[in-house]
Amino acid sequence: MDDELQQPEHGPLAGFTVGVTAARRAEELGALLQRRGATVLHAPALRIVPLADDGELLAATKEIIGQVPDVVVATTAIGFRGWIEAAEGWGVGEQLLGRLRGAELLARGPKVKGAIRAAGLTEEWSPSSESMAEVLDRLLEEGVGGRRIAVQLHGEPLPGFVESLRAAGAEVVPVPVYRWLPPEDTGPLDRLLDAAVSRGLDALTFTSAPAAASLLDRAEARGLTGELLTALGHDVLPACVGPVTALPLQSLGVDTVQPERFRLGPLVQLLCQELPARARVLPVAGHRLEIRGHAVLVDGELKPVPPAGMSLLRALSRRPGWVVGRADLLRALPGTGRDEHAVETAMARLRAALGTPKLIQTVVKRGYRLALDPATDAKYADA
C-alpha cells in the first residue's frame, strides 16, 4: 500500500479482509476500502443487462409519449440516463423529453438530479433522505387518486411502492430500464462464498438487494446455505448500504449493519468503526495485542501473519493464559495430513511475524500459551 494511504502507519481496516459483491461501482467501493487498509476480495454477484432492445422499455416509453404522466419518479442516475439514451436510439428521444417537461419530476437523490439536469430537465423535488419511502409519503400526502405516475425501476425491489400508489387510486406506469441477472462466470462468486464460509472474510458488503439474493441463491445451489448463514451470524459481518438491500438477508434471520446515509462513503466509515471494535484485544507480556483477520497489531504496529499462524493465534486467544496442547493446535491448522512438526513450524513463523517471541510461551511437553499479563490472568482464568 502507498505510504500516503497509511494513517499514519496503517489504516483503520488494516489486517481485515472485506468481500465486495457489487457489480456497479465496485471499483469505487474497493478503492475506498483499500485506502483504509483493507484487503478486498471482489466477485460480482450479478450482472446488469441494459434493456435498450427490450420490448418492455420501448412499450413503456411509447405509452408515456402517447399520454403525458402527471408525475415521473426517477430512482437512479444510471437508469434515467439509460432510458434517455435508449429513447434516442429509437429516434423518439426529443418526444420523450418533451413529455417529461410536462410532468412533475421527482428525483430520489442528488445523482439522479444531476442526470435529470444533464438531460435539460428540472426536477420538482428530491427527498433529503434519498429514500423512496419519503417519496412515497409525499405522493400519498398530495393525493394520487386518478393521477398517472411513471416510476423508473432500478433493478431492485421497491417493497410496497407501486402497490401503495395503486391502492391509493393512482395509475402506475413502470419503466424497467435494466435487469439484474446472475453472473455468466460463477467462479469468482464461488471463491467469495468459500472465503465467507471458511472465515477468510471479516466482512461482506452488499450494495443492492439483487446482489444479496444472488449470493444466497448461489449458496443454495452449492448446498452452502446453512454454513453461509452461520458465518454471517457469527464471524463475517454483513454490511448493507441500506434497509432495502438488507431485505433478502433479514428474511433469513441475518442481522446486518447499515449506515445512516445510504451511500458508499458512509458504508465504508461504518466498517471502519465496526471491524476494529470486533477485534480481540489482549494484554500479553507487557504488550497490547490486537488480533485482526490476517494481521496483528502489537502496540499499534501492524504485523502481517501467515494463515497458519493466524489459526494458531486464534486458538491460543480463545483460552488466553491457558496451555493449549499440540494436538488441539494441530486441529486448528488449515489442511489435512499434518503432524505435530507442522505446529512447531507454524509457531516459529508466527513468532517471527510478531517480532516479539516472548508473547507466546512454550510449555515443555504440554504445548503453548499466550503470556497473558499477571494482572489480567485471574480474570481470564475465571471466565
Task: Report yes or no: 149 and 170 within 8 Å, Cβ to Cβ.
Answer: yes
pLDDT at res. 191: 96
CA distance 201 to 44: 16
- Of all helices (H) and strands (E), which one includes residue 330? helix 326-332
pLDDT band for position 238 (50/70/90)? very high
pLDDT band for position 357 (50/70/90)? confident
DSSP state of 357: G
Residue 382 CB burial class (10 angstroms; 0-12, 13-18, ≥19): exposed
Given this structure, which CATH class describes domain 280-382?
Answer: mainly alpha
- Please state, in angstroms and as integers, the Cα–Cα distance from residue 101 to each residue in 67, 91, 142, 294, 326, following that order: 13, 18, 20, 55, 75
Q: What is the pLDDT of residues 15-54, one digit of tens each?
A: 999 999 988 788 999 999 999 999 999 999 988 776 655 7
Average pLDDT value over all residues in the chain: 88
pLDDT at res. 338: 66
Question: String of b and e for 100-132 (b: at least 16 CB within 10 Å)?
Answer: beebbbbbbbeebbebbeebebebeebbeebbb
Given this structure, which CATH class describes domain 3-46+183-278?
Answer: alpha beta
Half-sphere exposure of 373 (CA within 13 A, CB side): 11
Q: What is the pLDDT of residues 225-237, one digit of tens each?
A: 999 999 999 899 9
Domain residue spans of the chain: 3-46+183-278, 50-178, 280-382
pLDDT at res. 381: 46
Length of the chain equals 383
User: In DSSP terms, which residues pair with 18 in a beta bridge?
Assistant: 40, 203
Given this structure, which CATH class describes domain 50-178?
Answer: alpha beta
pLDDT at res. 16: 95
C-alpha cell of 63? 405509452
CA distance 368 to 370: 7
C-alpha cell of 258? 447499515
